[in-house]
Amino acid sequence: MTTSMTFPPGLILALGGIMLPFFHGAARSALILVTPLIVLVLVWQIPDGVSLTASYLGYDIALIKCDVLSRLFAIIFAIMAFAGGLFALNQKSSLELASAFIYAGSAVSVVFAGDLISLFIFWEIMAIGSTLVIWSAGGNGFSAGLRYAAIHFLGGVILMAGIAGEIATTGNTEFTSMTANSIPRYLILAGFLINAGAPPLAAWLPDAYPETSWSGMVFLSAFTTKTAVYVLIRGFPGTELLIYVGLYMVFYGIIYAILENDMRRILAYSIVNQVGFMVTGVGMGSEMALNGAAAHAFAHIIYKALLLMSAGSVLFMTRKRKCTDLGGLFRTMPVTCICGIIGALSISSFPFTSGFPAKSLISQGAADAHLMVVWMLLAAASAGVFLHAGIKYPWFVFFQKDSGLRPDDPPWNMKAAMILFSFMCIYIGIFPNSLYRLLPFQVDYEPYTVGHVVFQLQLLLYSGLAFFLMLGMLKRTLTISLDFDFFWRGIGRVLAQEFNFRLGNAWYGFTDRTINAVKRLVREIYRHHGPQGILARTWPTGSMAFWATVLLGVYLVFYYF
Amino acid sequence: MNEPWLVKPENIKILWRVLIAILVLVVVPDFFIEHHPHFGIDGTFGFGAWYGFLSCVVLVLFAKLLGAFIKRPDDYYDD
């Protein structure tokens, strides 16, 4: 039972998605663009505190509970749905856009969920929506989507077990900050971390995301991992384990991206890398570090979507994904190239782009806490980000060699989406307070000191020097790199072979029985209705009169009683 | 063949010189400004420069080493 009038913004986004397949042409475009804007307006208007409750299975659940942190994530999710929709206007697959909006809507609902039960429900709808986005690409997307779904439903089961245990032991359904000190809470943490792309299951991300369509990955990059960052910030701030998990993710992403040849897999590994920075920030748990994790998530959604839009434009125009097939595209795709470079500079935290004021908060958090090793590793990783994403991606796609390809820039709407996000990257970079004032804690930090800017420029430019000096070692090859998914792909294959045999027998048994049943049915009908059948005979008039009398008699009897 | 400015060999030489000039320029301020090191090592001369360069060399070499074990042809998982 709802007790308040606040309309859930996530539901509006999902409803917009459900309506999409019934609209065409200009009406469809309008629906795609207007729905996220309505959501954005609604999100701004939701007051702090609980404003929508319901009762489910005897528990009171808070469907909308808002504070600064929820609002920050909901705002960027709505902006992302708008820009992603604008970019994807020419996407012919209605399934992809519809499921992307349902997926985005459930992500918005997750950040407003005030209790563990509704959190879990929206968490699972998100898994379904994102799987459909992957499946709608067809081709390799189907098996990649199956592996993706398997990992996420495993994560869902672990999360569900944790939530059930937590409610059983504490009797409390509210979703607040927890200390990881019991088995249920460890399970909840594990469920969250699987979605964040944490080891050892991180391979679901670079396995599945690059198999989506040119527009699908733009949506996927934004929601799953960032809702995971959100729930970690709210649920497990200051959990020391997260520092180590985050640092592992940071370096895992860099190393695998250096070895990678597929441009969108490079960017997929760099999602893990960037989320690693945020998870490290959550692990440190100070106000500075948590602000950093939240700010970095906000900035990351914009520049990562921008990078994937530029990669998506290249894929859309050339149908090619491998660095070995690409190169020299700056000649004919200037807008895509420049926007891609702006995204690449932002992810590298170049001064005057959005990554700089955001990531600096996390580093400052490490410095304030006197965590020297963490600070040194984060600085090394920042250099590594410039190496694997900041230079490597634009270099191999837009420069490198002349691949002979001469594609044009993509259609206007795709360019408009890229220009919008490029603008936001630079705006936040120049006016960091526009982002800082949305953060959960008061920011008492100035990113643009001479010393800090000089340090960052040295770090990045000398990484650039290292890149060009070692270009020979970084030359792309037609290879992939083994990851932990080797194990579950192996299990999948063995299971598939086993089931092929059993399912084959079962299938033949099933079809034989069905065919026999149909044959029997036809035989029976023929026996009764065929030329020799009892129902096909001509009836004497006398028997007609007899049966009419019986019917009238029965009617009379019923009439009197 | 009308090649863009950016890919002509003589211009690439110019670009390298510009890059080297910038690399020198960003280290020069370390003579004048006072850094506020948190740990000591980050106060050494040109810390960002040498640490960034070294980090990248280590990362690339480590990736090469790991790659020797985990790289496979890109049709490895295809049936």
Chain A residues 393-422 with a CB less than 8 Å from chain B = 399, 402
- Tokens 């679901």 -> residue: A204
Q: What local confidence, expressed as pLDDT, does residue A501 receive?
A: 67
Interface touch A383/B56, C-beta < 8 Å: yes
Whether residues A542 and A436 fall in one domain: no
In a domain, B40, yes or no: yes
Q: What are residue A49's DSSP bridge partners?
A: A66
A497 and chain B in contact, CB less than 8 A: no
Whether residues A460 and A419 fall in one domain: yes
Q: What local confidence, expressed as pLDDT, does residue B1 receive?
A: 55
In degrees, rounded to 5, the angle at the alpha carbon of residue A303 between the alpha carbons of residues A297 and A307 is 135
Whether residues A424 and A501 fall in one domain: no
What's the CA gap between A420 and A422, in Å, rounded? 6
In a domain, A32, yes or no: no
Comparing alpha-carbon positions, the chain B residue that sits nearest to A329 is B4
Under 8 Å between Cβ of B33 and A449: no
Q: Is the pLDDT of residue B8 over 80?
A: yes
SS3 A529: helix
In a domain, B48, yes or no: yes
What's the CA gap between A456 and A353, in Å, rounded? 12
In a domain, B22, yes or no: yes
Beta strands A59-66; A49-56: pairing state: antiparallel
Whether residues A402 and A539 fall in one domain: no
In a domain, A445, yes or no: yes
Average pLDDT over residues A532-549: 70
- pLDDT-derived band at A379 (thresholds 50, 70, 90) equals very high
In a domain, A11, yes or no: no
**Alpha carbon distances (Å) from A453 to A49, A127, A350, A437, A459:** 39, 40, 9, 22, 10
Q: How far is CA B68 from the centre of its chain?
A: 22
Q: What are residue A481's DSSP bridge partners?
A: B71
What's the CA gap between A333 and A303, in Å, rounded? 19
Whether residues A270 and A416 fall in one domain: yes
- pLDDT-derived band at A556 (thresholds 50, 70, 90) equals confident
In a domain, B76, yes or no: no
- The domain tally of chain A equals 2
Contacts of A480 in chain B (CB under 8 A): 71-74, 76-77
Residue pLDDT, tens place only, A430-480: 999 999 999 999 999 999 999 999 999 999 999 999 999 999 888 888 888
On whether the pTM is more than 0.90, the answer is no
- Could you report the predicted ipTM of this complex, rounded to two decimals? 0.93
Range of the domain at B51: 5-70
Q: Which residue has the higher pLDDT, A405 or A548?
A: A405
Highest-scoring range by mean pLDDT, A286-290, A557-561, B9-13: A286-290
Q: What local confidence, expressed as pLDDT, does residue A135 receive?
A: 94
Query: Alpha-carbon Rg of chain B, whole angstroms?
Result: 20
Distance from CA of A6 to the nearest CA of B (A): 48
- pLDDT-derived band at A561 (thresholds 50, 70, 90) equals low
Q: Is the pLDDT of residue B4 over 90?
A: no
Query: Alpha-carbon Rg of chain A, whole angstroms?
Result: 29
In a domain, B75, yes or no: no
Q: Is the pLDDT of residue A4 over 60?
A: no
In a domain, B63, yes or no: yes
> Can the peptide bond before residue A36 be classed as cis, meaning omega within 30 degrees of 0?
no
In a domain, A394, yes or no: yes
Q: What local confidence, expressed as pLDDT, does residue B3 receive?
A: 79
Lowest mean pLDDT among A271-285, A344-358, B24-38, B62-76: B24-38
Q: What local confidence, expressed as pLDDT, does residue A301 receive?
A: 97
Last residue of a domain, one of A456, A480, A504: A480
Q: How far is CA A154 from the centre of its chain?
A: 16
In a domain, A281, yes or no: yes
Whether residues A436 and A495 fall in one domain: no
Whether residues A472 and A496 fall in one domain: no
Contacts of A402 in chain B (CB under 8 A): 7
Interface touch A255/B4, C-beta < 8 Å: no
Under 8 Å between Cβ of A224 and A301: no
A456 and chain B in contact, CB less than 8 A: yes
Q: Is the pLDDT of residue A324 over 80?
A: yes
Q: What local confidence, expressed as pLDDT, does residue A445 receive?
A: 93
In degrees, rounded to 5, the angle at the alpha carbon of residue A67 between the alpha carbons of residues A62 and A71 is 100
Comparing alpha-carbon positions, the chain A residue that sits nearest to B78 is A140
In a domain, B35, yes or no: yes
Contacts of A375 in chain B (CB under 8 A): 38-39, 42
SS3 B71: strand
Alpha-helical runs (H) found in A319-432:
334-347, 355-368, 372-385, 392-398, 412-430
Distance from CA of B14 to the nearest CA of A (A): 15
Q: What local confidence, expressed as pLDDT, does residue A2 receive?
A: 43
Q: Which among A248, A249, A233, A355 is positioned nearest to A283, based on CA atoms?
A: A233
**Alpha carbon distances (Å) from B2 to A295, A296, B5:** 46, 43, 9
Comparing alpha-carbon positions, the chain B residue that sits nearest to A486 is B77
- For an interface test with A, the pick among B56, B65, B79 (most A C-beta atoms closer than 10 Å) comes out as B56
Give, to the nearest 10 degrees, the angle between helix B47-70 and helix A372-385: 70
Distance from CA of A516 to the nearest CA of B (A): 36
Q: What local confidence, expressed as pLDDT, does residue A487 receive?
A: 80
Last residue of a domain, one of A480, A504, A520: A480
Q: What local confidence, expressed as pLDDT, does residue A207 receive?
A: 92
Residue pLDDT, tens place only, A153-185: 999 999 999 999 999 999 889 999 999 999 999
SS3 A522: helix
What's the CA gap between A107 and B72, in Å, rounded? 36
Under 8 Å between Cβ of A394 and A341: yes
Lowest mean pLDDT among A125-134, A160-169, A327-336, A511-520: A511-520
Whether residues A424 and A338 fall in one domain: yes
Interface touch A470/B55, C-beta < 8 Å: no
Under 8 Å between Cβ of A294 and A439: yes
Average pLDDT over residues A513-542: 75
Residue pLDDT, tens place only, A261-280: 999 999 999 999 999 999 99
Whether residues A509 and A530 fall in one domain: yes
Q: Is the pLDDT of residue A3 over 50?
A: no
Q: Which two tokens stand for residue A98?
A: 């519809």
Contacts of A464 in chain B (CB under 8 A): 19
Q: What local confidence, expressed as pLDDT, does residue A349 receive?
A: 96
In a domain, A218, yes or no: no
Average pLDDT over residues A3-18: 84
- The domain tally of chain B equals 1
Whether residues A417 and A456 fall in one domain: yes
Q: Which two tokens stand for residue B49?
A: 């420069």
**Alpha carbon distances (Å) from A217 to A213, A267, A425:** 7, 10, 19
Strands (E), B1-79: 71-73
Q: Which two tokens stand for residue A24?
A: 């065409």
A255 and chain B in contact, CB less than 8 A: yes
Whether residues A357 and A464 fall in one domain: yes
| pLDDT averaged over every residue in chain A | 91
Interface touch B59/A480, C-beta < 8 Å: no
Last residue of a domain, one of A464, A480, A496: A480
Q: Which residue has the higher pLDDT, A501 or A557?
A: A557
Average pLDDT over residues A50-73: 91
Q: What local confidence, expressed as pLDDT, does residue A1 receive?
A: 39
- Residue A299 is inside which H or E element, if any? helix A287-318
Range of the domain at A387: 237-480
In degrees, rounded to 5, the angle at the alpha carbon of residue A513 between the alpha carbons of residues A512 and A515 is 65
Q: Which residue has the higher pLDDT, A484 or A363?
A: A363
Under 8 Å between Cβ of A66 and A22: no
In a domain, A335, yes or no: yes
Lowest mean pLDDT among A338-347, A486-495, A508-517: A486-495
Q: Is the pLDDT of residue A538 over 80?
A: no
In a domain, B17, yes or no: yes
Whether residues A510 and A548 fall in one domain: yes
Q: Is the pLDDT of residue A5 over 60?
A: no
Exposure string (b/e) for A279-313, b if CB count within 10 Å is 16 or more? bbbbbbbbbbbbbbbbbbbbbbbbbbbbbbbbbbb
- pLDDT-derived band at A360 (thresholds 50, 70, 90) equals very high
Out of B27, B39, B74, closest to residue A261 by CB: B74
